[in-house]
């Protein structure tokens, strides 16, 4: 199915609502006077103060290039991850445990078989996916999923070979498990990227509950972490915790809550991450090897009940500050950098899919700081789950409701 919905967007139309918004009293008011007001006007959940100017509610920006969003299909079933194949088609995971290939015309292939069973209850399922850089010769895929075991559930990483007829995965093997397992079904993390050296960077959640939450700060646990492993699942030589007594050698960074977005900057190669906060405190982080990102010791959020978290502190020496945070939350999931030039002002901008706030976030970065924010496709009423840039230079985004959007210059 194709062209069920075609949206043409111009900069002036997008900015009209933003121009009429005021700035909430609890926001960071150090906004570029030449910019638009912040896109968020709802009152914050807390009175916490940002650590530096521009860490939250930065000035709004608008795209000046006219672009359109086309719905290529609405037939996906709870899609979770999306990535491009070398020939321009798209590979999508569906939460229940299937992968599908989609053509640029929006035609869905049949479910691909041979994938190990997933536990799709709660927030689990078949999650992030990536294609090996040498896919044209080795046809290898990597994916993350929630695995059920006798001692509980965990975030697992698998690899396999896509058959020549594209109907099945051959030789599917689980190469990594984020231990310990836990009986809960929340906060698996689940995103995966491949670094320039060909190693896998994978995000894991701290599994949400008070019983497991402290493990985000424990370096002998793989919960609430970003891990760096080889394509065979082994810790990468030179990982920052490899020489720390008692630490897991696969750890790359610690102190994460539920990181569902990972992306590599197209120029610097830096690793960026998006992370779900509780009630307030969604984060964008620039990941440094070996760094501690603070959860649950520091946070800009509160419990869903309204109670404070821990000592209700936002800063502590040795714990990293987010580059940017949201309060109220937007529920950031997948993200990608735009490396194209078809929409010139988007080049090297970060695009983040938003679940609860139902839009795509565009963040303008300068010197590793956020200097502008825009909301795209906010009128669609969709929970945007993941986004990627296609081989054609367009952006492709999937939604929990089953849509696949192509977003490009008109």
Active site residues: 187
Which is it for strands 395-399 and 384-389: parallel, antiparallel or unpaired?
Answer: antiparallel
* Other residues' Cβ atoms within 10 Å of the Cβ of residue 49: 12
Beta strands in 124-250 (DSSP E): 126-131, 140-149, 152-162, 169-177, 192-194, 200-203, 225-229
User: How many whole angstroms separate alpha carbon 346 and alpha carbon 236?
Assistant: 33
Beta strands in 288-402 (DSSP E): 324-326, 332-337, 350-354, 359-366, 369-376, 384-389, 395-399
Contact between 272 and 226 (Cβ < 8 Å): no
Contact between 188 and 155 (Cβ < 8 Å): yes
CA end-to-end distance (rounded Å), the chain = 20
Which is nearest to 400 in space by CA: 385, 386, 388, 387?
385
User: How many whole angstroms separate alpha carbon 256 and alpha carbon 261?
Assistant: 12
């Amino acid at each position: 199915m194709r062209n069920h919905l075609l949206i043409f967007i111009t900069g002036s139309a997008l900015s009209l609502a933003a121009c009429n918004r005021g700035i909430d009293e609890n926001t960071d008011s150090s906004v570029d006077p030449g910019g638009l007001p912040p896109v968020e006007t709802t009152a914050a959940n807390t009175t916490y103060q940002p650590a530096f100017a521009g860490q939250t509610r930065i000035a709004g920006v608008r795209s000046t290039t006219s672009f359109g969003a086309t719905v290529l299909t609405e037939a996906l079933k709870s899609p979770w991850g999306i990535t491009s194949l070398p020939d321009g088609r798209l590979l999508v995971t569906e939460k229940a445990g299937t992968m599908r290939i989609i053509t640029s015309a929006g035609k869905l292939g049949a479910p691909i078989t041979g994938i190990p069973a997933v536990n799709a209850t709660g927030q689990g399922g078949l999650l992030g996916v990536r294609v090996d850089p040498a896919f044209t010769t080795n046809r290898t895929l990597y994916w993350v999923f929630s695995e059920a075991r006798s001692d509980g559930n965990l975030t697992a990483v698998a690899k396999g070979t896509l058959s020549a007829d594209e109907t099945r995965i051959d030789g599917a093997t689980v190469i990594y498990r984020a231990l310990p397992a836990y009986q809960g079904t929340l906060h698996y993390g689940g995103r995966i990227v491949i670094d320039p050296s060909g190693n896998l960077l994978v995000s894991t959640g701290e599994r949400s509950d008070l019983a497991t939450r402290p493990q985000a700060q424990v370096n002998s646990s793989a919960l609430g972490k970003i891990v760096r492993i080889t394509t065979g699942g082994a810790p990468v030589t030179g990982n920052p915790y490899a020489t720390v007594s008692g630490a897991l050698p696969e750890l790359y960074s610690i102190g994460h809550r539920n990181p569902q977005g990972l992306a590599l900057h197209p120029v610097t190669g830096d690793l960026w991450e998006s992370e779900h906060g509780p009630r307030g405190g969604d984060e964008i982080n620039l990941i440094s090897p070996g760094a501690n990102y603070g959860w649950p010791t520091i946070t800009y959020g509160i419990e869903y009940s309204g109670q404070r978290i821990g000592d209700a502190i936002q800063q502590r020496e040795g714990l990293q500050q987010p580059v940017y945070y949201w309060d109220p939350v937007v529920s950031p999931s997948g993200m990608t950098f735009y490396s194209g030039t078809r929409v010139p002002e988007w080049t090297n901008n970060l695009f983040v899919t938003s679940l609860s706030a139902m839009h795509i976030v565009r963040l303008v970065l300068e010197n590793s700081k956020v200097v502008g924010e825009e909301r795209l496709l906010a009128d669609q009423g969709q929970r945007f789950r993941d986004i990627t840039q296609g081989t054609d230079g367009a952006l492709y985004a999937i939604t929990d409701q089953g849509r696949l959007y192509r977003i490009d210059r008109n």
